[in-house]
Structure formats: structure tokens, C-alpha cells
Amino acid sequence: MNYKRNLFISFEGPEASGKSSQLRLLSKYFHLNNIPHLVTREPGGTTNAEKLRKIILNKKESITPTEEILLLMAARLNHINKVIKPALKAGKIVISDRFADSTFVYQGFVNNYGMQKTISLHKIFLDNFLPQKTFLFLLSPKQINKRLQNRKISNKYDKINPSFHAKVIKGYKKLSNNNKRFCIIKGDTSIEHIHDKIVKELNI
């Protein structure tokens, strides 16, 4: 089976959009086909980054938007240097549950820090390191709320709030518009259909 080595893939989207389930399915597919890969997540992915994740996503922790962005970028830089780049160098496919696009949307757009300002900081501090392919899962705010009601609220962004999720979706659409890196996935279609689309898009 032919596949592209040194491929960095990210899965993005609003809460409860189904991206994490599809990430696990893709990993299973890679295992079955003996394709070397690494699954990771953001914020997190390393011991130090996971510690920062607890601060960033803590519902009781009061931090400013600027502090949150800088913590995210510190965690991301550690993640890139310690996990992602070494895995790519070893010829693995890296799949990350969220990456920089989440920061551009949630902190930059939704929290009103400024999307372009956040992208500029990423270019300065992280040398504009981005995935080669990003699967963006989109779901309506109504569907997101319905799914969140059926699961345990785990962090401060798991909100039963249609206007919040509508703004997240708007931010992702703005970011992905005319950007060939993104592959848009309709999160309300069948699990099997979505998985097949992802595999086909990756040409693996």
C-alpha cells in the first residue's frame, strides 16, 4: 500500500462535532494496514503541555485571553519539538486532535483577541508550522447542543450555548475559506461515510 510519509494531519471543529471518533477510526485503519503513525492532541501531547492543558481548560481558572494564547503557544512549541517533528522525521504520519487552527478560532476569533493577530503570533513564535491536511468537522449549533447534553461536560468550552457555537463555526468558516489545506466534513452524516471520505481524501 502506498502512503505519504512525514504527513501531518489535524482534525478540527466545534465541540461534539465527531472529530475525535473519526480520529480513532483512522488510527484503527492505519493499524490494520501497518501504516506507522502517531495520534496526539492539543492542548497537550507532552508531559509539560498536558500540565498547561489543565490550566487552559479549567473552568475555575481565571486567565486573560493573552495569557491563554501564550500558554497555548508554549504548550504547542513543546509539542512540536518533542513529539511531532521527531515522529515526522521517523517517517510516521502524525494525527492531532486539534492544533493551531483551534487557537485562531477560539482565542483569536471567538474571544475577540483577533484572528489575524493570533496567526501573526503563530508565525513569529512557531515559524508558521502547520499541518499539511486539516479535516474540518462542521455541525449546526442545535446539533452540537443536543450531543453535549448527552455527555459529561469536561471543559470550559463544552457549553450548552447556541450563540457561542455559532460563533465558533463562523470562525472556522472564515479561516478555511479558499484554503486548500482544509477538507470540510459534514458532521451529521454517517460515521462510515465520513471515514470513507477521509481515507479517500488522503489517497491511502
Task: Give the cell for residue 149.
Answer: 447534553
Q: Specify if 195 maps to a domain.
A: yes
Q: Please give the tally of structural domains in the chain.
A: 1
Q: Specify if 3 maps to a domain.
A: no
Q: Specify if 33 maps to a domain.
A: yes
Q: How many residues does the chain have?
A: 204
CATH number of the structural domain spanning residue 146: 3.40.50.300
Put the strands of the sheet holding 8-12 in their side by side order.
37-41, 93-97, 8-12, 133-138, 182-186
pLDDT of residue 145: 84
pLDDT of residue 156: 64
Q: Specify if 1 maps to a domain.
A: no
Domain range holding 169? 8-202
Q: Specify if 107 maps to a domain.
A: yes
pLDDT of residue 138: 95
Q: Specify if 89 maps to a domain.
A: yes
Q: Specify if 2 maps to a domain.
A: no
Residue 150 buriedness (CB in 10 A; 0-12 / 13-18 / 19+): exposed
Q: Specify if 87 maps to a domain.
A: yes
d(CA 7, CA 37): 9
Contact 195/144 with Cβ under 8 angstroms?
Answer: no
Per-residue pLDDT of the chain (204 residues; tens, 9 = 90+): 555 678 999 999 998 888 999 999 999 999 999 999 999 999 999 999 999 999 998 877 788 889 999 999 999 999 999 999 999 999 999 999 999 999 999 999 999 999 999 999 999 999 999 999 999 999 988 888 888 887 766 666 766 677 999 999 999 999 999 999 999 999 889 999 999 999 999 987
Read off the pTM: 0.92
pLDDT of residue 107: 94
pLDDT of residue 203: 87
β-pairing verdict for 93-97 and 8-12:
parallel
pLDDT of residue 195: 96
